[in-house]
Amino acid sequence: MATLTIRNVDPDVHRRVRVRAAENGRSMEAELRQIIKDAVSVNTENAEEINLAEAIRRRFAPYGGVELEIPPREPAGPPRVKFDE
């Protein structure tokens, strides 16, 4: 297992982590391991389940969505191909 050393932690952050660890019945070290694990696993768990279109839909769903006017299709003209003579 790897070892991490974190220096210059704000005293208020240290206190809040100590309180959070006590509330969860863990040591500060165990609490910090859980915090790091939760932080890095949140994005990877859902990344494979949701495709880009679904992610965009979920992002804008709270705003009611958007109705776009789709213009009628027109027949394509003849191909514009030039052949060297």
Q: In this predicted model, what pLDDT tens digit does every residue of 41-75 receive, in sequence order?
A: 865 555 556 688 888 888 888 888 777 888 899 88
Per-residue confidence at 19, pLDDT binned at 50, 70, 90? very high
Spell out the domain ranges in the chain.
11-60
Dist. CA 70–CA 23, nearest whole Å: 55
82: left (phi over 0), alpha (psi -120 to 50) or beta: beta
Per-residue confidence at 38, pLDDT binned at 50, 70, 90? confident
pTM confidence score: 0.50
